[in-house]
Structure 1
Amino acid sequence: MNLNIWQAIAIALLQGVTELFPISSLGHTVIIPGLLGWANMSTDTACGGDSCFLPFVVALHLGTSIALIAYFWRDWLQVIQTLINSVKRGGVQTGTEEWVSWLIIIGSIPAGLLGVLLEHRIKEFFASPLLAATFLIINGSLLFLGEGFRRRAEYQLQTLSPKEREAHFRPLSSLTWKEAVIIGFAQSLALIPGISRSGMTIAAGLGVRLTHTDAARFSFLLGTPIIFAAGALEIPTLFGQSTSNWILIICGVVLSGIAAFLSTKFLTKYFETGRLDPFAYYCWGFGLLSLILFLTVLQGKV
């Protein structure tokens, strides 16, 4: 595998953090190797010989998904219990925590189907640092737009504190299955490098009047099975690697998991009062800076 230990550590930490922050993990793992000149690793999709960058990055998703399962273990226990109870009773009551479990399952379907059908074609078409930087700017604009719609809805409540305003919006358990599907389709936009999965699902959640806290929670829960499946499906492509490479892979999975757990803990607390705007500004700034560098200093290397 064409990664040294320091590159592997950097990519693992980068993936673990950016997967949950609404700034596109895939976009960053395309852009940053391009900026640092890491031998065009961002466009390396093969797994023959020592070339295995993309499968390595996707395998890191296992660490991220395990961290999410560990953090939301009560929710996932509820999902399992709900499935069992629903089969026994032959139905489920909407507006309950059991209904939330079904919303997670329903909302995961669009991204799962589109990922199977289109993932490799989309990544091959868009996996260039230049395009990823462009879509990162677009991602920032979508985050800003989503937060803008929420601010307009809050206008009439402007005399209240942030927490009081949030209390006037609907809880996650009130979503319909159609709204869960819409948020699920928003999640599928993250197949394009530079577009954030969590960013699009949180923005879509705000669009159907969820609170920031519930929009973030639903985003993390909705992404867990997709992230886990993406990592698990890439494991066979890593077979045949040397022992030293497997040590890098395992260490990378552990590091990405730790980073993802800490990121989830931070963001869950942050969205109690925080907004998407700072992440939008970051995407604009980093995306624009990357575009300038790729079109000037690094021209011809991307």
Structure 2
Amino acid sequence: MIPTLQRSALTLVVSATLWGAQGLEAQGIEARVNAVRTGTVRFTYAAGEGVCGNGANWYRSRDGRSGTFNGMWSGAVANREVETTCDRGPVRVVVQREEGDTKAIRLYVGGKWRADTGVTDLGALSAREAGGWLLSVAEHGSDKVARSALQAATVGDSIDAGAAVLRIARDDSRSQEVRSNAVHWLGELVGERVAASLDSIAYEAGDRDVRRAAIMAIARRPKDEAVPALQKLAETLPDRELRRTAVTALAQTREPAAIAWLERRLGQRD
């Protein structure tokens, strides 16, 4: 058995090594994108677990029953005559460049490119390479571009996005909109560290909207994780308005444990 302290140190070393590799790969794509002063750049990479799309909209399944939608997903609506397909990727990213600056990033999943001779196509990239560049853009780009880059980075396969997304969420120099957006996408990532980070953001003194976003991100976690976390927040958050947010999120889970908790709380008021 590896002692806890040594195991933690080893985890940090491995994470730093992985991020260093992503950073080097990102430098390669950055040069290729920056070579286009004005115009359109596009590339693809592998989609993450449970992510699929029809070219216009995409969907991420969590447990086979629920998930995250982007756009109006017709596959989520019962159709007696036509079965809607959901392509298992790839993720497609379009980068709009103007005078040496990235002005917009557009994300698609599935489908196929339309023929366009005026586009610089970088082809299929590794998800780590694409993710490293997107996360760098998310940390340093304008608000609009950062939000799009965050979304694109969190739907790729094997992209170690947690540390960068958490830095953005806690960066007081970024706008409230970008920080809340980072918290939202942090909720889409997996791992105990992510769950603990969301919990700590909800309790931190600071922007209430960012803290509210953390509560809603917790609510989207797997139910066995979300319900006890929301119960704790509803009982212990110092901010009364945020406690109400936690109670509302808890009720919306419709889980038996959540309903039982709400009934007990209502009974205590009688």
Question: Does the pair score TM above 0.5?
Answer: no
Between structures 1 and 2, the one with greater strand share: 2
TM-score, with structure 1 as normaliser: 0.26
Q: TM-score, normalised by structure 2?
A: 0.28
Point out the structure with the larger helix share. 1
